[in-house]
Amino acid sequence: MFFRELYDQSLAQASYVIGCQATGEAIVIDPLRDPAPYLDVARAEGLRITHVTETHIHADFVSGARELRAATGARLYLSAEGGSDWQYAFAAQDEAVLLHDGDQIMVGNIQLDVLHTPGHTPEHLSFIVTDRPRGAGPMGILTGDFVFVGDVGRPDLLERAAGLSDTMEAGARTLFRSLGRFRALPDHLQVWPGHGAGSACGKALGAVPSSTIGYEKRSNWGVAEADEASFVVAVLEGQPEPPRYFAAMKRINRDGPPVLGQMPVAQRLGAADVLAGASMSSRWMVDLRPARQFADSFIAGSLSLPYSKSFSTWAGSIIPVTDEIVLMSDGDDDAVRLAVRDLSRIGFDRMLGWVDASEALHAWREAGHVLQTIPQLSVTDVAPTRADGAATVVDVRGRTEWDAGHIGGAMHVPLGDLRQRLHELPPTPLLVHCQSGARSAVATSLLHRLGRTDAVDIRGGFAAWRAAGLPLSGPVD
């Protein structure tokens, strides 16, 4: 048996290639949208990708199952569990094999037994893998977003991300019952999860790429919890805010992602082309330059979003997936390439291209426009600036960060909610902060785009506030 994990750091996502070396057949589980890495692995190992499957309808990236099928002619194997609301709408069109609990997929001499493991999502499947020629029984289980190393899949996404009310507690109870089936499996089975540390699909995912069922019984809080009521409370408590794009991903992956045929490449644009659409509300100029550089000089309406591991999260949470995007770069080709890749992975297919920052800024000035700036404020200047209600502190961190301690009198609006909650912000100048300054730089640029040019960035954020010994509210240790 051939086995390879392909791990994407930006999404903290794992997909797998499993092949039968005797017959040359291979299956890919939970592929990302770009088929090239899987084709490269198969080619290097002398394998043919003949099967493609996925554990569930994903919320954090566009599935690559259809793309890989189109590139290889492989057969799709998709869940038929979960009820009528959670069926793959494109299954019949793509002649997919529909899977139920207890079914088997044979890839040459490799056997995958289908286990319905709902809770994270109603249709979720896990796959128990057996290398039959060895005659030693099952080897491991591909758990997708059901069980992670050190954590379990969150059951609240259908309600918090997809808007299906009153589903969190029911999902938690279903997940608890699924974990009973997991605990009944042999301790020696390896656990190959769909995500690692940094994913928003759980709250305490480990950074170790794999584990065993026996070890997870001892070390994973969710697997170890034997009381259903206690489990329901614990699994719903402290979950991070799901990125806003998750709802669109569920719909796209359920209905069927468009097959691109080839991955997008951003074309270089002339500055004049960019300026012609700079004022369009459905077009976003995403500035990849460092935040301080952006704050000193930027084109009105552009969004500061330097490339990082969080790029997908904030781009998807702020920009509607149907809008057009132009990237601005200071010549960092890698940042442009990675940004285009990451945007495609979360469904942004209206990528117009990229523009050189120096050329665009020069053209903006030559056209008679004034370059904008983001005012900066030190933490020691916050108190006098907001004295007598003259300004409002806005905390754009997540809920768990806020609950752990915050600046007294601040207004809490997480970055991902800022555009939707703009109307709630008072008319006073806005003093914006996050934990260290990265998210507040994005937030202030967004507020300026939305017309709140009175937004100021607090340098160093909450960390600088605490380091200065300034007063705090909440259970800060």
Query: 142, 179, 147, 174: which is closest to 158 by C-alpha?
Result: 174
Kindly state the tokens that stand for 124.
């979720």
Quote the Cα angle for 169-243-8, to 5°: 110
H/E stretch holding 52:
strand 48-53
pLDDT tens-place values along the chain, 477 residues long: 999 999 998 899 999 999 999 999 999 999 999 999 999 999 999 999 999 999 999 999 999 999 999 999 999 999 999 998 889 999 999 999 999 999 999 999 999 999 999 999 999 999 999 999 998 999 999 999 999 999 999 999 888 877 777 789 999 999 999 999 999 999 999 999 999 988 888 888 888 999 999 999 999 999 999 999 999 999 999 888 888 888 889 999 999 999 999 899 989 999 887 787 767 889 999 999 999 999 999 999 999 999 998 999 999 999 999 999 999 999 878 999 999 999 999 999 999 999 999 999 999 999 999 999 999 999 999 999 999 999 999 999 999 899 999 999 999 999 999 999 999 999 999 999 999 999 999 999 999 999 999 999 999 999 999 999 999 997 755
Q: Are 349 and 274 in contact (CB under 8 A)?
A: no
The reported pTM is 0.92
pLDDT for the residue numbered 142: 98
Task: List, in order, residues 6 or more apart from 22 with CB less than 8 Å away.
Answer: 108, 109, 133
Secondary structure of residue 186 in the 3-state scheme: coil
* Each residue's pLDDT tens digit, 82-103: 998 889 999 999 999 999 999 9
pLDDT for the residue numbered 281: 86
pLDDT for the residue numbered 203: 82
Q: Is 160 left (phi over 0), alpha (psi -120 to 50) or beta?
A: alpha
Which pairing describes strands 211-212 and 104-107: parallel, antiparallel, or unpaired? unpaired
pLDDT for the residue numbered 476: 59
**Beta-bridge mates of residue 324:** 283
**Beta-bridge mates of residue 190:** 140, 212
Q: Alpha-carbon distance 429 to 373, whole Å?
A: 15
* Each residue's pLDDT tens digit, 118-130: 999 999 999 999 9
Q: Alpha-carbon distance 205 to 194, whole Å?
A: 11
What backbone torsions phi and psi does residue 197 show, to the nearest 5 degrees?
A: -55, 135
Secondary structure of residue 389 in the 3-state scheme: helix
Q: Alpha-carbon distance 109 to 129, whole Å?
A: 11
Q: Is 370 left (phi over 0), alpha (psi -120 to 50) or beta?
A: beta
pLDDT for the residue numbered 454: 97
pLDDT for the residue numbered 242: 85
